[in-house]
Every structure is written in structure tokens, then in C-alpha cells.
Amino acid sequence: MGYARLFPDTIDVLVTLCCDYGYCAMPKVARAAAGQIRAVDPAFSVRRYAQSQPYEDQAVLGHIVESLRQAGLSD
């Protein structure tokens, strides 16, 4: 059983889903995932999330940040 099935309401799982839906040109579903992120963490901040991530490749992190913003999440 995958991590997402075991822990469906964790921020990391929801961020992954939000980004994946955005990459798959499913903006409505990405926005719904963004809504779930806000429901789990009403104070969620894209900037704060990005600062907490240990990505060595900042370009990858930049894509994640952009996807989250496109889904309606803010800094």
C-alpha cells in the first residue's frame, strides 16, 4: 500500500497531487487539491513550504512552487 493511501491528508501527499494534476492539465482538480491543503493547514504558505524543502535542484522546487501558485495557493 502506498504512502498516499496510508496518509491521504498529509501536506506532502496533497502537494504532490496538486502539482501532478496541474502538470496533467487538470486545473479544476488541482484547485480542489489546493483546497484540501488549505483545509488541512489554513495557514499554508507556498513560500514557507518551499523554504522547508531540501531540494538540491532549485529548478525542481521552482516547478513545484509555480504549480502550487497556479492552483490558487499563495505565499
Write out pLDDT tens, residues 29-75: 999 999 999 999 999 999 999 999 999 999 999 999 999 999 999 99
Closest by Cα among 74, 75, 70 to 31: 70
Greater confidence (45 vs 8) lies with: 45
Residue 3's pLDDT is what?
65
Q: Does the pLDDT of residue 22 top 60, yes or no? A: yes
Closest by Cα among 31, 35, 41 to 10: 41
